[in-house]
Amino acid sequence: MVGYPVEGEILSRGTWTAGFALVAEKFQAGRIFLGGDAVHLFTPAGGLGYNTAVDDAVNLGWKLASVVKGNAPSFLLDTYELERRPVAVRNTGFARAFAESIGNYVPKPDIEADSDLGSDLRREAGAYLEAHGRSEFNIPGVTFGARYDHSPIILAEGEGQAPDLPEVYVPNAAPGGRAPHVWLNCQTSLFDRFGFEWTLLRLRPSSSPGTEFVTAARMAGMDLTVVDIKEDQLRAIYREPLVLIRPDQVIAWRGDGDGDAVQIIETVLGHIPAKR
């Protein structure tokens, strides 16, 4: 590779087996929680192993903090596995498909021939591998599109969701998914306005001041930041004037009034399961 002989010293070597797509049956046993490669082992196609691991930690982190602070029941911790295991199955499935797309590719026998046929086969192989490369790494749908629609702490709206495609991410403010990002005044990220823990977005035109939420959140010991957004374009994306966003930036609820605030807060903290 270098072009002339070089001396090298092997310090250590180990076997690495490609091709795994393994998900543990359980992510929790009592007070023990597992995340990362310990519960989902990827072929690194698509580069998803660490992303998925970080999302596990973010999901579990705020739930542990809420329970340790005494603001939520231990049931909130059970939702870690309920929310994250399906995402692990989803993401390892995408990674497996990417790995098979390259691993099962067999070049045609004459690909190295010094002939017109060989030239055509090399061009054909190049086109296939280029398309593979694009499909493996242009995957905003995998990264941003995971959803917790069936979680008992999400007040889902029961709308059918768009197909879950690796290469397509359609921002969607329905409860259960990542809050859509928007640039405010072309320079401030909406995410920079979110509170450190919970956020209540108040979007114009708003019929409700959200006072019931603030009171209910305070009673529940929740750290809630109310964010008023003046930019009109957010209503087109978020649809409702009030949006409750979890510490992991997942939308827990949205609506146009806060009369049910106590029940909503109790649901998102795991005191009562969401009605289905």
Using the Cα atoms of residue 32, residue 251, residue 207 and residue 196 in order, give the sign of their dihedral.
Answer: positive
Dist. CA 77–CA 275, nearest whole Å: 19
- Separation in Å, CA 228 to CA 17, 89, 194, 200, 268: 51, 37, 10, 9, 21
Q: Which is nearer to ligand FAD, 58 or 111 (CB)?
A: 58
- 271 token code pair: 């005191």
**Residue with smaller CB distance to ligand FAD, 21 or 222:** 21
Q: Which residue is nearest to ligand FAD (CB)?
A: 36
Question: CB-wise, 44 or 171, nearer to ligand FAD?
Answer: 44
Closer residue to ligand FAD (CB): 80 or 213 = 80
CB-nearer residue toward ligand FAD: 17 or 185: 17
Give min distance, CB of 240 to ligand FAD, in A: 34
> Applying CB under 6 A, which residues contact ligand FAD?
36-38, 44, 47-51, 53
Minimum distance from CB of 183 to ligand FAD (Å)? 26
Collapse the DSSP code of 235 into the 3-class scheme (helix H, G, I; strand E, B; otherwise coil) and give the result.
helix
Least distance in angstroms from the C-beta of 56 to ligand FAD: 8
What lies within 8 Å, CB to CB, of 70 at 6+ separation is: 221
Judged by beta carbon, residue 95 or residue 216, the one nearer ligand FAD is 95
- Residue pair 242/255 in contact (Cβ under 8 Å)? The answer is yes
- The residues that bridge with 254 in the sheet, in sequence order, are 243
Supply the minimum distance, in Å, between the C-beta of residue 133 and ligand FAD.
Answer: 14
Q: Find the shortest distance in angstroms from Cβ 270 to ligand FAD.
A: 25
Give the shortest CB-185-to-ligand FAD separation in angstroms: 33
Which residue, 41 or 113, has its beta carbon nearer to ligand FAD? 41
Quick one: DSSP state of residue 166?
T
| Helix extents (H) in 164-260 | 190-193, 211-219, 233-238
Give the nearest distance from C-beta 51 to ligand FAD in angstroms. Answer: 5
Report d(CA 241, CA 8) in Å as an integer. Answer: 64
| CA 226 to each of CA 65, 132, 220: distance values in angstroms, whole numbers, following the listed order | 20, 44, 16
